[in-house]
Amino acid sequence: MEEFLKNLPASVSKTELLKILQEFQDKYGYLDNDFIHELSKKIGIQPGKIYGIASFYSQFRFKPRGKYIVNLCSGVACHINSSENLINEFTKLTSLKDGETSADGKITLELVPCLGGCANSPVVKVNDKYYTKVTKTDLLKIIQGLK
Amino acid sequence: MNLKDITYNYLFKATELSEINKFNRDINLDIPVVFAFRSTCSVIAGIDDTISYIEKYSNENSIKIKIVETSCPGLCSFDPVIGVKIPGRTLILLKNLYYYEVFSVFDSILNHFLPDTKLILAQIYDEKYNSWPEVPDFFSLKQLKIQKRNILKPINTYSPISITDYFAKNGFKAFAKVLTKLTPNEVCSIIENSELKGRGGGGFFTGKKWRKALENNNNPKYFICNADESDPGSVAGRMLIETDPFRLIEGMLIGAYAINASKAIIYVRNTYTLAIDRLKKAIEQTKSAGLFGDDIFGSGINLNIEIVTGPVAYVCGEETALISSLEGSRGMPKPKPPYPSDKGFLEKPTVVNNVETIFNIPFIILNGAESFKQTGVKSSYGTKLFTISGKVDYPGVYEIELGTNIADVLTAVCDDESLNSIKAVHIGGPSGGFVHPDKFYEKLVFNDSKNKSNDIWFGAGSFVVLNKSNCIVDVCKYFLDFDVNESCGKCIPCREGTRVLYDILKRISERPVTTSKHETLQRFKGVTQLEEIAVVMQETSLCGLGQNAPNSILTGLKYFRNEFEEHIYEKKCDAGVCRDLKLYSINIENCVGCGLCVKRCPADAIIGSLHSAHFIVQERCIKCGNCFKICKFNAVNII
């Protein structure tokens, strides 16, 4: 983290704040509390302000995420093809809700507004792999495969 | 010759294209060529596996096959689509070609035999080659016939990330025309004359926006492309970028020139990985071709393009919110006026245009405003992209000429069976509304705020078809839940209004736990309050998100009022979607008291001793339906 802060240019304008946060998250997976404080000292924006801006956008995370990130699509096409049943089923099987990570740090559930695979809805994405026209039985298999 | 010289010769010296072709397309037609129509939607459907199996096939059988990666034809139900051109034969398109079919399909097709008919989509006729017997022409498919493809090519055999391939499609000719023959003033006039309207939802005249920014002398100015498409159910912008990133760049260069801007910014949603990747490659090539940078081809014009990835917030689709986000703040909208064309990014004049709007620009410049106005109907010229999904047989991205009626579109995307069960169409995503079958013969045109009789609002062009298994109240609830999550919280009507509306809908889609007066009152409030709150929100919200959030409810109440009333008074959901409205009870005459349901009930809601009739305690029941499924004596009833 220190290295990341060192590499930042001496003066940072506010317009570049989001870009810095994105770069940090890409590298370390989430926005660490210490990082926000250190960044604040460096660029002279209050930590609360930085947190306020970051928490507005759904891209930024403040907790470490699991090895497998499961995206259940809750877009409109998936919704009318009963994605809600899948979401309930997932919660039943893993007792995880939106944004939560399992205790062993393996699985994180994140609901997303639309993955854009509306023709093959409902869609489930695990890390970079897509599963299409998912049923409850498929979902069980997917979860069992996450080892 | 380097790329810069080639570009210069092609654009300004009118070199024949064949000379450039030598540089560019060395597709050898003596060996089989495979066109992989790869975009995000086909990646989701699994085209990457198909491609790797084709490579495997070529290696294992030592057959030379050239694979050309191009972009999707927009017919998502056929994904993954693969085109195969073998020497002497026309290009044949295969649909739903999953990896496990590859070996058998290529075995037959390379030997001039047709594969299984369920995998054949169409062929593209060409007099030069022998056609495949009994394979329909691609352009005669009903999904293609309904469309008027002005900005999407029907089928792309060109690489989306090669600038010379783009030249072969008359690329950058419009920009060259602007640079050499037209002043910014004239460019604005052409766009004004074309009466091009913004495709992002607002429907404001693009030419007027440009003119206002041009007339403002506060430099520097900015030209921004809004590619932050966050509507659920709409992927048209993403598809356009993946198909033709150069066309977006060309349109932006023209726009920036027209308002004398020195910097153009593309604000694209960061989840669009493939689109960003292609856009970055395209920008790099455009730069090395010398089409932007300092002093473009000695014209004295300086222009720069930059990509900014948006960290995902629905409200950033609104132009002032997008500008706030670019400035590094929370993406909250600002009251208008001042409009961005007076005070936008960093307080400077700024034009914000949607991807689809910008895609129309090169065509208008090249062919003139009049030829653009030949498509569409009065006051709604041109075409519009719709992302069609839901209960249809052929979902996808369709480019529809404005003025077409919904019934025609539905006939093209549905087979007869599903056509008959359509209950409604929801157009425009969270800011749009329902269309009743009675209105299917009305034309799709831009909504005129003065003409209230037409309440079809395009939004970003999502087009979701609902049938009898969908509940209108549930769809309204879905969109309001989305709005509650995405409301930025700046103005009260939107922040509180969406929540109150959502609560009312939630209440009427659940069975009341008690019959207490308060509970009953809350349910009945729904009828009286839904409309009232919706109208207040429309009139007082700050930005489009809040103003249009209640559209679904208002149109739902207008056309499907009976469904709302059924939920409220009869506590019944005909479609069976609102699970919480169901009431499970045990018929004592059928119940033998086997105790199976007691064991299955996760909420301990069933009581009764063995061999005597059981009873469900409604206060505890969570409506999971387990008892209904397990009972062998049909003793559990659902009301």
How far off is chain B from A147, nearest CA to CA, in Å?
Answer: 23
Span B436-464, average pLDDT:
79
State residue B23's pLDDT score. 46
List, for residues A13-30, the tens digit of each pLDDT value: 888 899 999 999 999 889
As given in the structure block, the two tokens for residue A118 are: 């509306």
User: What is the rounded distance in angstroms from the CA atom of residue B403 to the CA atom of residue B378?
Assistant: 9
Q: Which residues of A touch B482 (CB under 8 A)?
A: 113
A26 in contact with chain B, both atoms CB, cutoff 8 A = no
Fold of B380-405+422-466: Ubiquitin-like (UB roll) (3.10.20)
Is residue B74 within 8 Å of B82, Cβ to Cβ? no
Q: Which residue of A has its CA nearest to B387?
A: A118
User: What is the rounded distance in angstroms from the CA atom of residue B494 to the CA atom of residue B490?
Assistant: 8
Q: In this model, does residue B585 exceed pLDDT 90?
A: no
Please provide the CATH number assigned to the domain covering B471-580: 1.20.1440.230
**Do B79 and A59 make contact, defined as CB atoms within 8 angstroms?**
no
H or E segment at B273? helix B273-288
How far off is chain B from A59, nearest CA to CA, in Å?
Answer: 5
Q: In this model, does residue A7 exceed pLDDT 90?
A: no
**Do A15 and B231 make contact, defined as CB atoms within 8 angstroms?**
no
- Which long-range contacts does A17-23 make (Cβ < 8 Å, 24+ apart)? A17/A43, A17/A45, A17/A50, A17/A53, A17/B328, A18/A53, A18/A57, A18/B311, A18/B325, A18/B328, A19/B308, A21/A50, A21/A54, A21/A60, A21/B311, A22/A59, A22/B270, A22/B309, A22/B311
Q: Which residue of B has its CA nearest to A123?
A: B44
**Do A57 and B391 make contact, defined as CB atoms within 8 angstroms?**
no
Class of domain B171-374: alpha beta
Helix (H, G, I), strand (E, B) or coil at B343: coil
State residue B128's pLDDT score. 83
Q: In this model, does residue B458 exceed pLDDT 90?
A: no
H or E segment at B353? strand B350-354
Select the residue of A15, A21, A118 nearest B233 (Cβ to Cβ): A118
State residue B622's pLDDT score. 79
Q: How far is CA B9 from CA B13, B15, B336, in A?
A: 5, 6, 46
Mean pLDDT of chain A: 89
Span B224-248, average pLDDT:
90
Q: In this model, does residue B621 exceed pLDDT 50?
A: yes
Q: Which residue of A has its CA nearest to B42?
A: A117
Please provide the CATH number assigned to the domain covering A68-145: 3.40.30.10
User: What is the rounded distance in angstroms from the CA atom of residue B581 to the CA atom of residue B221?
Assistant: 56
State residue B629's pLDDT score. 83
Q: Which residues contact B248 (CB under 8 A, 6 or more apart)?
A: B225, B240, B241, B266, B279, B355, B358, B359
From the CA atom positions of chain B, what is the Rg in Å?
Answer: 28
pLDDT-derived band at B22, boundaries 50, 70, 90: very low
Q: Which residues of B touch A79 (CB under 8 A)?
A: 475, 478
Is residue B552 within 8 Å of B433, Cβ to Cβ? yes
State residue B28's pLDDT score. 59
A93 in contact with chain B, both atoms CB, cutoff 8 A = no
List, for residues B147-204, the tens digit of each pLDDT value: 999 888 888 888 899 888 888 888 898 999 999 899 999 999 999 999 999 988 778 8
Q: Parallel, antiparallel, or unpaired for β B263-269 and B304-310? A: parallel
Is residue B341 within 8 Å of B212, Cβ to Cβ? yes
Q: Is B500 exposed, middle or buried (0-12, 13-18, 19+ CB in 10 A)?
A: middle
- Provide the chain A residues 37-76 that lie in CB contact (below 8 A) with chain B: 52-53, 56-60, 74-76
A113 in contact with chain B, both atoms CB, cutoff 8 A = yes
State residue B15's pLDDT score. 60
Is residue B402 within 8 Å of B383, Cβ to Cβ? yes
Span A96-115, average pLDDT:
89
List, for residues B490-524, the tens digit of each pLDDT value: 999 999 999 999 999 988 888 776 777 887 787 77
Q: In this model, does residue B449 exceed pLDDT 60?
A: no
State residue B24's pLDDT score. 46
**Do B45 and A120 make contact, defined as CB atoms within 8 angstroms?**
yes
The answer to whether domain B582-638 has CATH 3.40.50.12780 is no
How far off is chain B from A113, nearest CA to CA, in Å?
Answer: 6
Q: Which residues of A touch B327 (CB under 8 A)?
A: 14-15
Find where tokens 């499609």 sit: B169
**Do B312 and A57 make contact, defined as CB atoms within 8 angstroms?**
yes
Q: In this model, does residue B29 exceed pLDDT 80?
A: no
How far off is chain A from B204, nearest CA to CA, in Å?
Answer: 26
Please provide the CATH number assigned to the domain covering B25-145: 3.40.30.10
- CB contacts < 8 A, A to B, total 117
User: What is the rounded distance in angstroms from the CA atom of residue B450 to the CA atom of residue B456?
Assistant: 13
How far off is chain A from B334, nearest CA to CA, in Å?
Answer: 16
**Do B235 and A17 make contact, defined as CB atoms within 8 angstroms?**
no
Q: What is the ipTM of this complex?
A: 0.91
Span B283-291, average pLDDT:
92
Considering chain A, tell me which residue range(s) the CATH 3.40.30.10 domain(s) occupy.
Answer: 68-145
Mutation pick from B42, B228, B316, B329 vs chain A, by most beta carbons of A within 10 Å, is B329
**Do A119 and B231 make contact, defined as CB atoms within 8 angstroms?**
no
**Edge-to-edge strand ranges of the sheet holding A107-112:** A107-112, A68-73, A124-126, A129-131
Q: Which residues of A touch B395 (CB under 8 A)?
A: 77, 118-119
How far off is chain B from A124, nearest CA to CA, in Å?
Answer: 10
Task: Compute the half-sphere exposure of residue B394: CA atoms within 13 Å on the CB side of its CA.
Answer: 22
Select the residue of A19, A53, A118 nearest B235 (Cβ to Cβ): A118
Span B586-607, average pLDDT:
88
Q: Which of B333-347, B437-451, B533-547, B573-587 has the lowest mean pLDDT?
A: B437-451
User: What is the rounded distance in angstroms from the CA atom of residue B45 to the CA atom of residue B9?
Assistant: 42
How far off is chain B from A90, nearest CA to CA, in Å?
Answer: 15
A111 in contact with chain B, both atoms CB, cutoff 8 A = no
DSSP string over B589-605: TT-----HHHHH-TT--
How far off is chain B from A9, nearest CA to CA, in Å?
Answer: 17
Mutation pick from A88, A114, A123, A125 vs chain B, by most beta carbons of B within 10 Å, is A114
Mean pLDDT of chain B: 88
Indicate the domain borders of chain B: 25-145, 171-374, 380-405+422-466, 471-580, 582-638
